[in-house]
Amino acid sequence: MKVLVAMSGGVDSSVAAARLLAAGHEVVGVTMRLWGGESDTGCCSVTDVDDARRVAQQLGIPHHVWNFGDEFEARVVEPYVEAHRRGLTPNPCIECNRHLKFDRLARRAAAVGFDAVATGHHARVVERPDGTRRLARGVDRAKDQSYVLYVLGQRELARTLLPVGETTKDEVRAEAAALGLRTAGKSDSQDVCFITSSAGRRGFLERRIPLRPGRVVDEAGREVGAVDAVELVTVGQRRGLGLPGGGEPRYAVEVDVPRATVRVGPARELMTGAVVLEQVVWADGPVTGPVEAQCSAHGTPRPARVEPPGPDGRVTVRFDAPARRVAAGQSVVLYEGDEVVGGGIATAAPPGGSGP
């Protein structure tokens, strides 16, 4: 089989390429050039491209760099900026997977004759008795990346290989070291590639949109603090709100960007019985009933029930017990056991019907 391996310059994709080569496949490495601006974190730096190229040389496979910068700007960066302008909390890595790695890259790979695309994500593709496929958690639960891949449907899963999903991260590193790969000891990339550690999120955004100071008010509407940029405040945030010390801890419970106002309240005001999802993606058709809902990349799954989709396609997920509210713009991924059944983006809309 002819396989294109998306080589990010990290140890996982390096070992993924080595395993596919050892299995007898025709392997070609490709590194996507996504971000042309400043980058000192994430997976888009010049060093990462060089590491991927050198690993490909060590393995004796061809390596190419494909430039998808325009698509990345339009599909990931601009929506990220717009989300902050609206007071949402986006996850750009999920959108990169949705639009670039498993769409644009996969379509180009198919167009030039590749049978499959492989990545170094810690997740698995499992085939069910009826022939459908689902994404499943990686064996190494501490490194599981199925949350950020929930956007993959049947078409994508049929042409995706995840060679390290059955392996722990320690085993991956040991294998890379045994092969003498230069990435064996390289640390993981955990940050957004277009946000530099020096300028941070604020520095990036203020070059693209005006950031406005905002008032912080309590439950009674009294002004109790201030923020430098209301667009950077996330529901659930405690620090950076200019609140006086002492007393019960208070958190941002509502962010009103048009009015440049943040309302704070005690932790109990962050608790909710449900979340409404939009842009819902199903692995192999809508599900209802009991699931486990994971509300952040490394969060603890919450027992919940999925209600039938509404006429607008939105889905209400009701938690079995009150849970901390999900910031609008974040993804909620739904599991049956270790298998992803779907997911969507949390809205600020109140759930319909009566509470749990």
Residues noted as catalytic = 96, 193
Cβ pair 319, 356 in contact under 8 A? yes
Give me the residues paired with residue 125 across strands.
135
For the record, the structure tokens of 205 come out as: 């955004």
Q: Which residue has the tokens 């590193």?
A: 173
- Separation CA 322–CA 244 (nearest Å): 29
Residue 258 per-residue DSSP state: T
Nearest to 253 by CA among 277, 242, 333, 241: 241
CA dihedral 313, 274, 80, 159 (to 10 degrees): -60
Cβ pair 10, 48 in contact under 8 A? yes
DSSP H/E element including 27? strand 26-33
Cβ pair 271, 325 in contact under 8 A? yes
Nearest to 236 by CA among 163, 124, 329, 335: 329
- Separation CA 247–CA 243 (nearest Å): 10
- Separation CA 202–CA 110 (nearest Å): 39
Q: What do you get for the CA distance between the two ends of the chain, in Å? A: 51
- Separation CA 41–CA 48 (nearest Å): 10
Cα Rg for the chain, rounded, in angstroms?
Answer: 22
